Amino acid sequence: MSARSLCLLLVTVAACTEPPPPASRRDALSPPARAPRRLSAAQLHAAIEGATGEVWRGPATIVDPLSYTGTRDAPDADLLKLYAAGLGAPDFNYTVQESLEPTITFAKYAEDAVRATCTAAARKTPSTLVKVSGDDEAARRANATALVLRFWGDVIEPSSDEVNGLLELHGQGGWAAVCVALATHPRFLTF
Amino acid sequence: MLTRRTLMQTGLVAGASLFSRLGFAQSMPALDRARRFVFFYLPGGWDQLLFLDPREEQGDIARTDVDPAYASFGAPLGGGPHFTGRVYRPYATSRDFMLGPGVVATTGPGTDLPVAGPTLVSLASAGVPMAIVRGLNMGTLGHEPGQAYFLTAAPAQGSAAVGASIPIRIAALLEDPATAAQTLTPVLSFGLQSYTGDKPGRLAAFSVGSLDDVQRLLARQSGLVLSPSTEASLGRWKGRALEKSRGLSRQLLQSYEGAAEMIEAKVADRFDLLRGTSPALQAVRARYGLSAQSNPGSAEAVAAFAAQAVKESLAQFISVSMPVGLDSHGGDNRAHAQAAWPALRALSLFLDDLRSAPSALGGTWLEHTTVLVFSEFARTPRFNVAGGRDHHFTNSCLLAGAGVRAGAVVGGSSVVGMQPLPWDFEGARTLPADTPLTATRRHLVPEDIAATLMASAGAPWNELRTARPLWPALTRAP
């Protein structure tokens, strides 16, 4: 394509393109924001593992088609996967659509998972919950801010009320308590 | 157009003379929002000749194609310690109300003595409100479609259920936050699939598969409990978040509150049926014959849990799958009766428990609880080459408790071949098999059972479209 043809094409396209509407009209035409959604069972599992580096495990009887009875006792079963039906996951046998309702069952299992993984993460050396180490308040504020970014994806001021609340929790239960607070907050559980 | 049916469904029946021809001598019961419902499912398909639709006589099998084979109980085939008497016969507690010989086990080989403790026969004789619906046309011989049909009152699409489960449908009809039954959760499902369909998510079933699941959900393991001061700080943090929240975020935070209240209420202790040390739980174990060594998945344990869930107001709608397997294509009457006996015994213990348990709502819990006992279909009236019975679509179900007319029997099956007989909804009677089917003279179907449950609690049933409640033939005003 020659330079002349290209220029002609660009001029034609520019002539046919409607100028952008003024800001007020543009706002009016914007589709309304999508309603927030609760994390699915699989998303919750991945989100907790991604934020804490831990998976909620424990002893349980699990389905094992290869065993004589169809089940077996596992010492370290992945409990969130085991309780996925209670979290709303379909079994693809009787149900194929995931329930994303904020039920008591979901809240209970999600908080149990968060408490187990946050406690395990805090006990590790070095802890996966400590991004900025140090005993002074500035370091604690910086670490709380870093955890907010990790758990919620939000950048907040180290002097904000939220960080103040998190530091109060840190004073009571260490970074494990901060982790539980962040991971049970709707900002972590919805998108 | 305003039809009689529309009037009925909009609750305008009281005093309407239009209904005299329908036999609506009584007015509709008032809406009973606190009514409890318990659904007992016996998986596998049950033999109606043994349980809810027996025959009085052996009859001419060649002519009727119905072989009750009650005398075969005495034969040396089939396993188990019960049903080893000489000859079994149905039990009739009234002219119409007849139960098959499989509902009462005997004490041991060579005796006809019934086992100790309550049975469906002794309870019916004692006036416990029980009613039977016979001649239910399931329209399917598949386990999953049959189960889904009874659970949702809508024919399944293939094996997939359509719409919401009946407990959730009724929960949506009775729901009123101001006057709702004060239960921890509206719908509980124990080992049984539940379908939310298009109903609100807050009515989604609290699903448990075992007594261990119950403990896990109602309590927090000690390793997951933080220090008291940390728990208090966490509570304040969530409280501040709740103040600022709305919509889904608010619902989530409220769910946390609900879970926290459940844990703080120490409800789990009241459901530790096998190990709990409280006098109440010891009494439960004594009644159901349980001990710390009992199988937590036994029929008695499941029935005891269902009763406890009613008495402790854990849920308003409770569905339980009884741990029995009735899909016996081989084996004789005795083997089938033996397989069902644990569930029927547990059901009898459950009814006896509720009828003697004082309710916070006044009277006993059975006066506030409607019970439905069902299976996905029945078994053939003749034996197959393996000596067992295959799938048969002429089903029956049992209703008991609140709103049920004691000794009522609705519907029936034909003398020849046990086919479903049409039911005359206007005349409240069974019709001959060759009656032309119409909208008001047709076979009974699971939708009619669901409509009956709804109507018995004073709730409208119009969402079930073609269904009609078996009122007042089956139910009574509370």
List pLDDT tens digits, range B348-360: 999 999 999 999 8
Looking at per-residue pLDDT, the higher value among B139 and B198 belongs to B139
DSSP letters for B236-276: HHHHHHHHH--HHHHHHHHHHHHHHHHHHTTHHHHT-TTT-
Residue B365 to chain A, least CA–CA distance (Å)? 26
How far apart CA B201 and CA B194 sit, in angstroms, is 12
Residue A24 to chain B, least CA–CA distance (Å)? 27
Q: Does A57 have pLDDT greater than 80?
A: yes
Residue with tokens 């896990």, as numbered in its chain: B216
Residues of B in contact with A118 (CB under 8 A): none
Determine whether the interchain pair A102/B251 forms a contact, defined as Cβ–Cβ distance below 8 Å.
Answer: yes
Residues of A in contact with B233 (CB under 8 A): 168-169, 172-173, 177
Determine whether the interchain pair B227/A173 forms a contact, defined as Cβ–Cβ distance below 8 Å.
Answer: yes
Contact B259, A108 (CB under 8 A): yes
- B207 inside 8 A of chain A by CB: yes
List pLDDT tens digits, range A90-131: 777 556 668 787 877 889 999 999 999 999 999 999 999 999
Looking at per-residue pLDDT, the higher value among A122 and B181 belongs to A122
Average pLDDT, chain A: 85
Read off the pLDDT band of B78 (50, 70, 90): very low
List pLDDT tens digits, range A122-133: 999 999 999 999
Compare CB distances from A85 to B207, B233, B245 and report the shortest one's residue: B207
For residue A87, what is the nearest residue in chain B, using CA coordinates?
Answer: B207
Contact B333, B50 (CB under 8 A): yes
For residue B220, what is the nearest residue in chain A, using CA coordinates?
Answer: A112
Determine whether the interchain pair A108/B229 forms a contact, defined as Cβ–Cβ distance below 8 Å.
Answer: no
For residue A157, count other CB atoms closer than 10 A to its CB: 10
Show which of residues 243-282 on chain B sit within 8 Å of chain A, judged by CB atoms. 245, 247-249, 251-256, 258-259, 262
- Cβ density class B13-43: b for 16+ within 10 Å, e for less: beeeeebeebebeeebbebbbbbbbbbbbbb
Which range is most confident: A27-31, B133-137, B171-175, B359-363? B133-137
How far apart CA B420 and CA B360 sit, in angstroms, is 41
For residue B213, what is the nearest residue in chain A, using CA coordinates?
Answer: A83
Residues of A in contact with B254 (CB under 8 A): 102
Residues of A in contact with B226 (CB under 8 A): 115, 173, 176-177, 180
Long-range Cβ contact pairs of A78-82 (< 8 A, separation 24 or more): A78/A45, A79/A112, A79/A113, A79/A116, A80/A41, A80/A44, A80/A45, A80/A48, A80/A55, A80/A56, A80/A109, A80/A113, A81/A45
- Mean predicted confidence (pLDDT) in A61-81: 84
For residue A116, what is the nearest residue in chain B, using CA coordinates?
Answer: B224
Residues of B in contact with A86 (CB under 8 A): 207, 213, 217
Q: Give pTM, 2 decimals.
A: 0.78
For residue A118, what is the nearest residue in chain B, using CA coordinates?
Answer: B224
Q: In what order do the strands lie in the sheet with B429-430?
A: B429-430, B423-424, B441-442
Kindly provide the ipTM of the predicted complex, given to two decimals: 0.81
Rounded to whole angstroms, the maximal C-alpha distance in chain A is: 79
